[in-house]
């Protein structure tokens, strides 16, 4: 297919009616959420545009949440909303899970952070090293973004090289060196096999000599780039499930070849499993059978609290050992704070192999039901494990450029219409399940989505 084709080529007749209802759907939302509107007005006077976190921005304003319990959120207007995104996949047990609350409460009474280590970080590191076969050592941080930043620092120090390869359409958090070509517009794409590195923010100082952007799932482009620049490349940073592109999987052989090329040219292979770790007891890498040198983690390992981690080869992470000359430094007032460690450990302990398998089976069921609902429509259902994504495009999604054919306006309006019916998904229509999600939640969500499709 022509990757720059827009959804309009095939789907206009389908997308137009819902888009035409946009003003009516927005008016209904405003009518349902006067308290959130008022809070948003107040926020706008103190926070730029009313927000302090880009990913939760939505038109006309986000719902303000008063509390969450299990799979249910209650907003400041007292509406009960079924959560279908669980703070961007970070709460696999749902909100205020009793085991996590108990672990955090127990730790809170003992203090929340110290200028010294606590046993809890050893316990949590043990959990990660037990589950991730590639993890021999771990360093904790406070976000997935920080984990990525430090992983790149380790890779550059280990190899003595500067350039990092990332893939077009991949989001790895807000560190400057990975804030390139996350969602570039078609007129700035560049060649399909050699995408232009497009900044996703003002204020970035330049990618030259630091970042190379490649198309996801294109092994030939990867081989050519490594042949040309291998000696300058410190690391290849890749998501084993490409989240922003639509939770799409690597094609068979793509990661395997990447592993071989990294071995041949001395490049560090970094898997970003900030989201993908939840796919299996041994992470996405356990399912795929490819062993990275470093893995970045976040989200679920914090049990709902801020967290990040770099896990991987002992010889690479040894660069941060205290007495090593020219070491990699890595500070952080709240690194491995005992509250996060306690919440993370309680969460990971609850996510046994059986529990994860049941969660993933639920994901399989919801994707298959959504697939049935969307049969014959210009909508794609993608995802893996307990994650799903609805994309408004008639095209199969395999990389950023096919993902970019989606009609984002349709998705955004569908998301607001679902919020009116009491379901929270981001405007991109990503979704996930938690163990707190029941069959009833799923059935009601499917019914709301069917009604939105007029089915
Ligand atoms: C794959 C991936 N990497 C890194 C990050 C950044 O994590 P954080 O938001 O904790 O900084 C995210 C966040 O969504 C992510 O999806």
Query: Do residues 345 and 331 touch, judged by C-beta distance below 8 A?
Result: no
Protein residue with least CA distance to atom 13, ligand 1? 173
Query: Do residues 265 and 231 touch, judged by C-beta distance below 8 A?
Result: yes
Query: Do residues 326 and 83 touch, judged by C-beta distance below 8 A?
Result: no
| Two tokens, residue 256 | 């395997």
Q: Is the peptide bond before 60 cis (omega within 30 degrees of 0)?
A: yes
Q: How far is the CA of 140 from the centre of ligand 1 (A)?
A: 14
Give the residue carrying structure tokens 């054919």. Answer: 405
Q: How far is the CA of 144 from the centre of ligand 1 (A)?
A: 5
Q: What is the pTM of this model?
A: 0.97
Going along the chain from its start, the domains and CATH numbers come out as 8-94+353-452 (3.90.1150.10), 98-350 (3.40.640.10)
Q: Residue 10: its pLDDT value, please? A: 58
Q: Residue 12: its pLDDT value, please? A: 76
By DSSP bridging, strand 430-432 and strand 387-391 are antiparallel
Biggest CA-to-CA distance, the chain: 66
Q: How far is the CA of 296 from the centre of ligand 1 (A)?
A: 9
Ligand 1 residue neighbourhood (C-beta within 6 Å): 88, 143-145, 148, 171-173, 239, 243, 272, 274-275, 298, 308
Q: How far is the CA of 173 from the centre of ligand 1 (A)?
A: 4
What Rg value do the Cα atoms of the chain yield, rounded?
Answer: 22
Pocket test for ligand 1, best of 85, 141, 145 (most atoms within 8 A of CB): 145
Q: Which atom of ligand 1 is nearest to the CA of 244?
A: 16
| Two tokens, residue 154 | 């380790």
pLDDT along the chain (455 residues), means of 10: 48 91 98 98 98 97 98 98 98 98 98 98 98 98 98 98 98 98 97 96 94 98 96 98 97 98 98 98 97 98 98 98 95 98 98 98 98 97 98 97 98 98 98 98 98 94
Q: Residue 359: its pLDDT value, please? A: 98
């Amino acid at each position: 297919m022509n990757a720059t084709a827009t959804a309009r080529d095939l789907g206009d007749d389908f997308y137009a009616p819902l888009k035409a209802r946009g003003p009516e759907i927005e008016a209904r939302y405003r009518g349902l959420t006067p308290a959130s509107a008022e809070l948003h007005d107040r926020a706008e006077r103190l926070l730029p545009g009313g927000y302090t976190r880009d990913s939760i921005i939505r038109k006309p304003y986000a719902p303000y949440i008063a509390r969450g319990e299990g799979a249910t959120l209650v907003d400041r207007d007292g509406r009960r909303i079924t959560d279908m995104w669980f703070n961007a996949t970070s709460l696999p047990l749902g909100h205020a899970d009793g085991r996590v609350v108990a672990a955090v409460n127990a730790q809170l009474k003992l203090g929340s952070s110290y200028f010294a280590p606590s046993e809890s970080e050893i316990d949590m590191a043990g959990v990660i090293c037990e589950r991730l076969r590639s993890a021999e050592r771990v360093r904790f941080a406070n976000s997935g973004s920080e984990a990525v930043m430090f992983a790149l620092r380790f890779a550059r120090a280990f190899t003595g090289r500067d350039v990092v390869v990332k893939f077009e359409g991949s989001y790895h958090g807000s560190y400057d060196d990975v804030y390139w070509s996350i969602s570039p517009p078609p007129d700035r794409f560049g060649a399909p096999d050699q995408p232009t590195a497009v900044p996703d923010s003002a204020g970035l100082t330049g990618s030259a000599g630091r970042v190379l952007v490649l198309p996801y799932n294109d092994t030939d482009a990867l081989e050519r780039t490594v042949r040309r620049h291998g000696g300058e490349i410190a690391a290849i940073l890749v998501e084993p499930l490409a989240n922003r592109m639509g939770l799409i999987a690597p094609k068979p052989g793509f990661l395997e070849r990447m592993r071989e090329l990294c071995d041949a040219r001395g490049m560090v292979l970094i898997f970003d499993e900030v989201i993908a770790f939840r796919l299996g007891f041994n992470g996405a890498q356990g399912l795929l059978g490819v062993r990275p040198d470093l893995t970045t983690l976040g989200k679920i390992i914090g049990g709902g609290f801020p967290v990040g981690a770099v896990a991987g080869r002992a010889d690479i992470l040894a660069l941060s050992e205290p007495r090593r000359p020219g070491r990699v430094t890595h500070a952080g007032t709240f690194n491995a704070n005992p509250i996060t460690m306690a919440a993370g450990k309680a969460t990971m302990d609850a996510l046994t192999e059986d529990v994860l398998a049941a969660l993933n089976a639920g994901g399989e069921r919801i994707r298959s039901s959504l697939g049935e609902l969307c049969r014959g429509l210009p909508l794609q259902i993608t995802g893996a494990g307990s994650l799903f994504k609805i994309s408004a495009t008639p095209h199969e999604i395999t990389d950023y450029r096919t993902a970019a054919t989606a009609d984002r306006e349709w998705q955004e309006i569908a998301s607001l219409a679902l919020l009116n019916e009491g379901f929270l998904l981001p405007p991109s229509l990503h979704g996930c399940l938690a163990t707190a999600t029941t069959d009833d939640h799923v059935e009601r969500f499917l019914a709301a989505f069917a009604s939105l499709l007029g089915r």
